[in-house]
Amino acid sequence: MINFAQGEFAVFGGLLTYTFSCVLHIPILLAAVIAIICTAIIGALMERLFIYPLRNAQIINVIIATIGVSILLKALARLFWPEEAYKVPEFTSSSLTFLGVTQRSQTLWVFGLTLIAVMLTYIFFNHTRVGKGMKACSINREAASLVGINISNMSLYSFSLSAALGGAAGLINAPYASYGSGLFLGVKGFTSAVVGGLGNTFGAIFGGLLVGLIEELIAGFLQVVFGISSGYRDAITALILIVVLLLRPQGIFGRREGVKV
């Protein structure tokens, strides 16, 4: 299912890390872990308060509810973190040179932690009992309940998990990201997932790379050739989303079949 509040989890991941590390002076890695746990709890609360009551409603209503939650979370964030920008420190401050290119070491953290998160997610969904149950739920809820899976628990777990992952993504990227970009991160993540095929982890990662690449290329092209500012990159993402939904709604890796919930 599409959760439009996913981007807000990323924002909370970043903001909470800021509070824990810069205000409460907890070491950055520990602060990051606590922030992830907190976003997971926010995800769990969201599921119980807004999604669970809609369990018999049509899927489109649930999706609209996630947009509402996204707005609510954004307002809450403004309330508790009223300033325009919060600077989260980089995990390690050194930079390193590789093949003649100098990179901040945060880039390495982004790559490394993303890789670990993807691997853990893959192992979870394919090699653990709860993970397989969750996957079964996403394929066919009713059949899942008929083999004895408690689908209400699974919904709770999956919201907590995706919130935790979103929070992790947000805080890893926090030193780069600008505040208030939640919905855009959500749209970007959603575009990546659509491009790769919904419900397909590797597809989503690949889609993310592809969207990022196309965005860079087109933005660069526009800037170099026409001198148009790269501020249009979010519009490019939206354009990719529309084109893919029109031409290949099942995604690049998705098989053509009914909409899964």
Partner 1 sequence: MLKVEGLSSFYGHIEALRAVDLRVRAGDITTILGSNGAGKTTLLRTISGLVPARYGRILYFGKDITNLRPERMVKMGISHVPEGRQIFGDMTVRENLELGAYLRYRRDPSSAIKKDMDFVFKLFPILKERESQVAGTLSGGEQQMLAIGRALMSKPRLLLLDEPSNGLAPKVIRDIFACLQQLHQEGITILLVEQDVQIALNIADYGYILRAGKIVLEGTAEELSQNQTIKEIYLGE
Q: Does residue number 132 form part of the binding site for partner 1 (CB under 8 A)?
A: yes
Q: x/- contact string, 199-238, with partner 1 (CB under 8 A)? A: ----------------------------------------
**Which range of residues in 3-11, 128-136, 159-167, 239-247 is near partner 1 by CB under 8 A?**
128-136
Residue closer to partner 1 by CB (options 147, 259) is 147
**Least CB distance from residue 128 to partner 1, whole Å?**
10
**Cβ-based neighbours of 133, under 8 Å, separated by 6 or more:** 144, 149, 154
From 133, 167, 186, 203, residue interacting with partner 1 (rule: CB under 8 A): 133
From 148, 178, 226, 227, residue interacting with partner 1 (rule: CB under 8 A): 148
Q: How far apart are CA 91 and CA 229, in angstroms?
A: 31
Count CB atoms within 10 A of the CB of residue 100: 5
Residue closer to partner 1 by CB (options 28, 151) is 151
From 24, 79, 99, 147, residue interacting with partner 1 (rule: CB under 8 A): 147
**Cβ-based neighbours of 136, under 8 Å, separated by 6 or more:** 143, 144, 147, 149
* Residue 163 burial class via C-beta count within 10 angstroms: exposed 0-12, middle 13-18, buried 19 and up: buried
Give the pair of three-digit tokens for residue 99. Answer: 């093949």
From 59, 123, 139, 228, residue interacting with partner 1 (rule: CB under 8 A): 139
With H, G, I as helix, E, B as strand and everything else as coil, classify residue 95. strand
Q: Does residue number 1 form part of the binding site for partner 1 (CB under 8 A)?
A: no
**Which range of residues in 26-34, 145-153, 168-176, 209-217 is near partner 1 by CB under 8 A?**
145-153
Going from the C-alpha of 60 to that of each of 22, 101, 142, 251, 253, the distances in angstroms are 40, 47, 18, 20, 24
**Least CB distance from residue 132 to partner 1, whole Å?**
6
Whether 144 and 137 have beta carbons less than 8 Å apart is answered as yes
Q: Does residue number 57 form part of the binding site for partner 1 (CB under 8 A)?
A: no
Number of residues that bind partner 1 (CB under 8 A): 18
Q: Which residue has 């970043």 as its token pair?
A: 14
Contact residues: partner 1, CB under 8 A:
129, 132-133, 135-136, 139-140, 142-150, 255, 257
